[in-house]
Amino acid sequence: MKWTFENGIPIYLQILGRLRTEIASGAYSPGAKLPAVRELALEAGVNPNTMQRAFAELERDGLVYTQRTSGRFVTEDAEVLKNLRRTLSEDVIEEMCTRLMRLGMSREEILSAVKDWAAEASGQTKNS
């Protein structure tokens, strides 16, 4: 997948966000070996030190671990992965609600709209 970076946000934070999302979504499954720092840095077009900084943060968060001679792997700790998904989802929900409130929607209208969307997405109708 192509790497693109936004101006004004440190690149290592953008890399960190992308890797967290890929781990949370299962793109890198629990126990999966991650690509080498140099390999990912080359793919992303960044300095290996920048990629290393993101990997070190993932390790501090308990999302990845290093096996001395084998490389880095995604944690298999289901609770850590569940917490990651919850944190990322809370960020998305907060951003969505903030944007909808700027459009003039109340919390009740937002909740109703989300419920309606969920019902439609699951194949139900409002009157079901």
The CATH number assigned to the domain with range 11-76 reads: 1.10.10.10
Beta bridge partners of 72: 66
| pLDDT value, residue 125 | 56
Radius of gyration of the chain (CA): 18
Q: 């936004």: which residue's tokens?
A: 6
If you write DSSP's letter for every residue of 81-124 in order, what string do you get? HHHHHHHHHHHHHHHHHHHHHHTT--HHHHHHHHHHHHHHHTT-
pLDDT digits (tens, 9 = 90+) for 90-121: 999 999 999 999 999 999 999 999 999 999 99
pTM for the structure as a whole: 0.81
